[in-house]
Amino acid sequence: MNRIELLGRWTKEKSEELYGIKNWGADYFSISDKGEVLVNPYKGNASAAVSIMDIISGVRERGLDMPVLLRFENLLDSQISYLNNSFNEAITKLNYKGQYRGVYPIKVNQQQQVIEEVTKFGQRYHHGLEVGSKAELVAALSLMKDKEACLICNGYKDEEFIDLGLYAVKMGFKCFFVIEIPGELDLILERSEALDIKPNIGVRIKLSAKAGGHWTESGGDRSIFGLNMSQVIEIVDTLKEKKMLDCLKLLHYHLGSQIPNIRDIRSAVLESARVYAELVKEGAPMGYLDLGGGLAIDYDGSNTNYTNSRNYSVEEYCMDIVEAVMSIMDTSDIPHPIIVTESGRALVAYYSILLFNVLDVAKFEEYKIPAELREDTPEQIRNLYDVNQALTLKNIQECYNDALYYRDEIRDMFKHGRINLRQRSFSEKIFWNIINRIAKEKHKLKFPPVELEDIECAIADIYYCNFSLFQSIPDSWAIDQLFPIMPVHRLLELPKRDAIIADITCDCDGKIDHFIDLHDVRNTLPLHELKNNENYYLGVFLVGAYQETLGDLHNLFGDTNVVSVKINPDGNFDLVKEIHGDSVADVLTYVEFDPKDMRTSFRETAEEAIRQGLISARERRDIMSSYDNGLRGYTYYES
């Protein structure tokens, strides 16, 4: 959208439209009359909304610095209810005879607090857990109390994993081993015999259906996990032979995460339901059809089948699944199974917001080009100057090409000593003046040249921000995932600057120059000018899924501070839990430094400096205390 068209008084409605908050906010996020972003887990109850700026004040009073990850436990609660209620409504409406049992896949956000809350809030729906490793099973068993909920074990299983799962069955848990590769069955049968506990067995299949999205390899024929149909039949035969076919109770597939197109979801459900029906005909008791994850989040709010979006609602997702399963079962006269899904992203994405402050801005400065050139100006610089004079809307592509050509020529001349530094500097001013004018003219064209697609980036302001992309939103870097980003205050003011965001790592990959847009992807984000002595806060939204645990220690920026917020129905809020982020000593320990040894070694260096007369003993004390402060400090920019 062109902000020039929106002249006149800037309003919160204009900010809502500009940042798309109503499209991606799922009614959890909105803008207040004061121009601040509000969070409200109780969709219908407007008086429960809390301003993020008030939370920031609370966080600062507790002495916690930015960046901070806010977790809203009520949002997790709301999403669990929403998913379960949507399935239950579909079941009632369609008169489906089975039930819905969701499980939360731990890998999507493995923080203890998240799993604890899922088991707590999920209990009223018997919402269970999905684990993909021994460590996750150990974690799940420490928190799970509900024997009605499912505990699904995917992943490669060794003897310890299997023994623990079998004991879980013995203790009354609905624990299933899903066979992902053919070899796993033998070990399961062997341990089952040794411990005299009958396992609940499931099989994971590869579907021929393929889906679009980032993770298209997870589901289809080429997926590395799952059994093809002849392997499924071999498992059935082995179980029959051992007289254990009564253990085969579940069929599973996972199409991949963030499936944007409902048609892909539907065709996978139909195919798997057919396999399920056949397994019942083979004599397996079955009972559970586990459709994996894939329920997508509309990150850009466009409601399309674009990778960062989805072309369906949660209600449609549930209706389509129940209807598809039912249609297959009814044609074969097979009892309706319990439908299991493993939605992770959809449950936790809304739950966390990353907040940070802007440290500094590098503005694009416009240069005044002199009306006349000096006598001694070299020919190539004159040519560039002429390009600037000749630029009009009609010839922008040509002028762009010429400008690049002369710029390169001038750089070459500089390398060979044929022009001096001042001349080169002058030529760069002319060059950037041309680029700036082209970027502005471009908007007047109906079909701007493809080459000029992201020319705005070149002249955007750079907002340097206090966070690490690699640590806090790794998918932004790794798979170009888009997250909604916007200021959390000043939303009654016109955002006059066009910016890209650079993180604190000073790594050229540590930047964000793609932002959500309803119709496209935008290259710059409209932001406000910084004010003196006032922090400017930005929020990255919908970062609850997959971001927290993928983060690495790029440049040794560690975990951020985390604050858990509980919003009460009356609009008050409690900061229920705060977790201090990593100190410098912490992150150094992760890469096997020993802070004690480091301190000793640095003290020796300081002693040596005293002996050489470079510093006094008193100065040594100050130097050591500043080293200690550094070790104890937060890894991010502290104010």
Ligand X SMILES: *Cc1c(COP(=O)(O)O)cnc(C)c1O
Which residues are near ligand X by CB under 6 A?
Answer: 105, 107-108, 130, 154, 254, 257-258, 292-295, 342-346
| C-alpha span between 82 and 93 (Å, rounded) | 16
Nearer to ligand X, 109 or 466 (CB): 109
Nearer to ligand X, 292 or 495 (CB): 292
CB of 346 to ligand X, least distance (A): 6
How does strand 573-579 pair with strand 174-179? unpaired
CB of 274 to ligand X, least distance (A): 20
CB of 394 to ligand X, least distance (A): 49
Nearer to ligand X, 78 or 343 (CB): 343
CA 136 vs. chain centroid, Å, equals 21
CB of 351 to ligand X, least distance (A): 13
- Identify the bridge partners of residue 565 per DSSP, sorted by sequence position: 72, 575
Q: Which of 484, 476, 480, 78 is nearest to 301 (CA)?
A: 484
Nearer to ligand X, 71 or 107 (CB): 107
Nearer to ligand X, 259 or 562 (CB): 259
Nearer to ligand X, 286 or 296 (CB): 296
End-to-end alpha carbon distance in the chain? 36
CB of 107 to ligand X, least distance (A): 6
**Which H helix or E strand runs over 269?**
helix 262-281
Task: Quote the Cα angle for 29-30-34, to 5°.
Answer: 135
CB of 344 to ligand X, least distance (A): 3
Nearer to ligand X, 257 or 427 (CB): 257
CB of 454 to ligand X, least distance (A): 30
CB of 545 to ligand X, least distance (A): 6
CB of 215 to ligand X, least distance (A): 8
CB of 506 to ligand X, least distance (A): 32
| C-alpha span between 575 and 63 (Å, rounded) | 13
Nearer to ligand X, 77 or 402 (CB): 77
Q: Which two tokens stand for residue 162?
A: 């299997």
Provide the H-helix boundaries in 451-521. 455-459, 469-472, 474-478
CB of 355 to ligand X, least distance (A): 24
Nearer to ligand X, 105 or 484 (CB): 105
| C-alpha span between 24 and 308 (Å, rounded) | 11
Q: Which residues contact 239 (CB under 8 A, 6 or more apart)?
A: 185, 201, 245, 247, 248, 284
**How many CB atoms lie under 10 A from the CB of residue 37?**
26
Nearer to ligand X, 219 or 558 (CB): 219
Nearer to ligand X, 293 or 581 (CB): 293
Q: Which residues contact 28 (CB under 8 A, 6 or more apart)?
A: 39, 40, 41, 43, 75, 78, 350
Nearer to ligand X, 110 or 377 (CB): 110
Q: Which residues contact 355 (CB under 8 A, 6 or more apart)?
A: 52, 56, 66, 67, 68, 69, 70, 488, 537, 538, 539
What is the C-alpha R_g of the chain?
30
CB of 378 to ligand X, least distance (A): 60
CB of 34 to ligand X, least distance (A): 35
CB of 504 to ligand X, least distance (A): 29
DSSP state of 529: P
Q: What is the torsional sign of CA 445, 449, 454, 458?
A: negative
**How many CB atoms lie under 10 A from the CB of residue 457?**
16
Provide the H-helix boundaries in 43-158. 52-61, 73-94, 112-122, 134-143
Q: Which of 361, 355, 345 is nearest to 307 (CA)?
A: 345
Nearer to ligand X, 24 or 253 (CB): 253
Asked if residues 337 and 274 have their Cβ atoms less than 8 Å apart, the reply is no
Nearer to ligand X, 273 or 500 (CB): 273
Residue number of the CB atom closest to ligand X: 293
Phi, psi dihedrals of residue 562, rounded to the nearest 5° = -130, 135
Residue 541's alpha-carbon distances to 27, 206, 316, 494, in angstroms, are: 13, 34, 24, 21
| C-alpha span between 59 and 69 (Å, rounded) | 11
**How many CB atoms lie under 10 A from the CB of residue 450?**
7
